[in-house]
Amino acid sequence: MDDDVIIAVDVPQLGDDRHKSWAKVVHSVDVSRDTGWAFEGDFIAAGGVQDVPAGSVLLVYGERGSRASPTPHAGVFRANSDGTVSEESSAKGRAWARTLRDKVVEMLDEDPIVSGRPWDPALMAYDAAALDEELHRRKR
């Protein structure tokens, strides 16, 4: 994991401020579970800028509705290396975790496009030293 390129992304916040909300960088999924405990990884703050590895799978959870009976909302996002996040799937209601579990497993098995954009021949204009310097700058 020391070779991961760390990027700053704006992690969305689902739900409203009156209720529970959280976000997580998902590393693995326990497919024997069908609750939120199936998603293993590091918690990060939702609703602001966070540093995460490029290509990370982000799970964001929040609740909406009345205080007595809130409705869970969850979304799965990919952290693109250009600093954006792409929503891949979402679910609401009590079965949100099982609904999203297979999608998260599929995303973790994929080889993400690290750049967020396809390779561009314009990179040929830069010499190798400049590209190496930029790569080292992004790893910090």
What pLDDT is recorded for position 31?
Answer: 95
- By CB atoms closer than 10 A (0-12, 13-18, 19+), residue 96 is buried
Query: Which pTM does this prediction carry?
Result: 0.78
pLDDT, tens digit, 9 for 90 and up, residues 18-40: 899 999 999 999 999 999 999 99
What pLDDT is recorded for position 110?
Answer: 85
pLDDT interval class at 127 (50, 70, 90): confident
Percent of the chain with pLDDT over 70: 90
pLDDT interval class at 117 (50, 70, 90): low
Domain borders along the chain are 6-139
Distances (CA, A) of 57 to 3, 30, 64, 130: 17, 15, 23, 29
Percent of the chain with pLDDT over 90: 63
CB 11 within 8 A of CB 48: yes
What pLDDT is recorded for position 73?
Answer: 96
pLDDT interval class at 1 (50, 70, 90): very low
Task: Give the separation between CA 119 and CA 101, rounded to whole angstroms.
Answer: 31
Average pLDDT of the segment spanning 106-121:
70
What pLDDT is recorded for position 52?
Answer: 95
What pLDDT is recorded for position 98?
Answer: 97
Average pLDDT of the segment spanning 87-107:
96
